[in-house]
């Protein structure tokens, strides 16, 4: 269990690794030298480091809506996303996750659990992935979408 100014996180780890806390230092040792145990050693170290960073600084992901008429509105603690469907898509509030809106086309997802923040961002992006011809859709802030030439460019080249 890790506690900090932003909250607290708890995780249960595998018995192949041993975790000790001495003088505010976390040490991780493996019980044997098998390949599986070695891989768990690194994973456990990363998970604990992510938990410590989460409760002290927090994590944040930014999504952009690109396209004519694509917008997002805050609906209580949840979101209402309009991305060209016949109906708006509703995102319900999730405990531990905070949604912020910047303008009409940016969503900022923040929280203390790195895995949960990333999963919620991926789920929202999945609603309308960026397409390769016009680049419309929901994308991460610095994501580069590879554009394809359309049908007219193929005919002109031939």
Q: What is the pLDDT of residue 158?
A: 63
Instruction: List C-alpha distances in Å: 157 to 33, 133, 148, 151, 153.
Output: 59, 17, 14, 10, 6
Rg of the chain on CA atoms, in Å = 21
Domain-by-domain residue ranges, the chain?
A: 2-56, 59-140
Instruction: For the chain, report the end-to-end CA distance as a whole number of angstroms.
Output: 63
pLDDT at residue 154 tops 80: no
Query: E strand or H helix at 108, and its extent?
Result: strand 106-111
Q: What is the pLDDT of residue 90?
A: 94
Q: What is the C-alpha separation between 36 and 42, in angstroms, rounded?
A: 10
Architecture in CATH for domain 2-56:
Alpha-Beta Complex (3.90)
Domains 2-56 and 59-140 share a fold: yes
pLDDT at residue 81 tops 90: yes
Q: What is the pLDDT of residue 150?
A: 81
Mean pLDDT of the chain: 91
For residue range 87-113, what is the model confidence (pLDDT) as tens digits?
A: 999 999 999 999 999 998 999 999 999
78 conformational bin, left if phi > 0, alpha if psi -120 to 50, beta if neither: beta
CATH of domain 59-140: 3.90.930.12
Q: What share of the chain is helix, strand, coil (3-state, %, to 5)?
A: 25, 35, 40
């Amino acid at each position: 269990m890790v506690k900090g100014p932003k909250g607290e996180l708890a995780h249960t780890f595998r018995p192949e690794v041993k975790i000790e806390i001495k003088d505010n230092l976390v040490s991780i040792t493996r019980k044997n030298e098998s390949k599986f145990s070695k891989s768990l050693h690194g994973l456990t170290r990363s998970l604990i480091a992510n938990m410590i960073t989460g409760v002290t600084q927090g994590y944040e992901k930014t999504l952009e809506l690109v396209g004519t008429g694509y917008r997002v509105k805050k609906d209580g603690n949840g979101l209402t996303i309009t991305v060209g469907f016949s109906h708006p898509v509703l995102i319900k509030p999730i405990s531990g996750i905070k949604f912020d809106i910047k303008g009409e086309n940016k969503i900022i997802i923040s929280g203390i659990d790195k895995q949960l923040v990333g999963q919620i961002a991926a789920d929202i992006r999945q609603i309308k992935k960026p397409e390769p011809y016009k680049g419309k859709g929901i994308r991460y802030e610095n994501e580069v979408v590879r554009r394809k030439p359309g049908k007219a460019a193929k005919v002109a080249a031939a």
